[in-house]
């Protein structure tokens, strides 16, 4: 089913008032007869011919929060979504933060990796290597 513009809907209602059938209007405008009947009924009941599309659910973040989210991400590129959410004080889940980043063209982010070796690990590895190279260790 194709979308109709406000101008087309007005033309459709005017044509129907001049006596053109709903079946003819459906063919002429390339929409279903049910859609034609909907616009005629809405006009007859005094309703607007504008589309009444509303969001199924409210947006989790305001435009200001989205702007702050993008700014924060540009300054802290490898922050996790949990860190971003906490830093900005957002009242939404981590997945929502990721979705808003994706909608704004920010993809494939990964948090900065934590170093795997502690100082103790480094010392033990060096000790093992020293023993192995001097021949006293078992390899």
C-alpha span between 81 and 97 (Å, rounded): 6
pLDDT score, position 69: 93
Average pLDDT over residues 77-86: 90
H helical segments located in 18-62: 22-29, 33-44
State the pLDDT at residue 1: 42
> Is the pTM here over 0.75, yes or no?
no
pLDDT, one tens digit per residue, over 36-74 is 998 899 888 887 777 765 556 678 888 999 999 999 998
Residue whose C-alpha is closest to residue 90's, from 112, 116, 64: 64
């Amino acid at each position: 089913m194709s979308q109709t513009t406000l101008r087309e809907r007005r033309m459709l209602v005017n044509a129907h008032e001049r006596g053109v059938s709903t079946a003819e209007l459906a063919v002429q405008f390339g929409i279903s007869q049910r859609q034609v009947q909907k616009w005629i009924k809405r006009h007859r009941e005094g309703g607007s011919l504008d589309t009444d599309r509303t969001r199924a659910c409210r947006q989790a973040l305001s435009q200001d929060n989205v702007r702050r989210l993008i700014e924060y991400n540009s300054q802290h590129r490898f922050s996790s979504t949990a860190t971003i959410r906490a830093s900005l004080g957002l009242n939404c889940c981590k997945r929502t933060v990721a979705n808003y980043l994706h909608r704004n063209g920010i993809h494939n982010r990964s948090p900065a990796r934590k170093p795997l070796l502690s100082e103790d690990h480094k010392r033990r590895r060096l000790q093992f290597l020293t023993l192995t190279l001097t021949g006293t260790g078992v390899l």
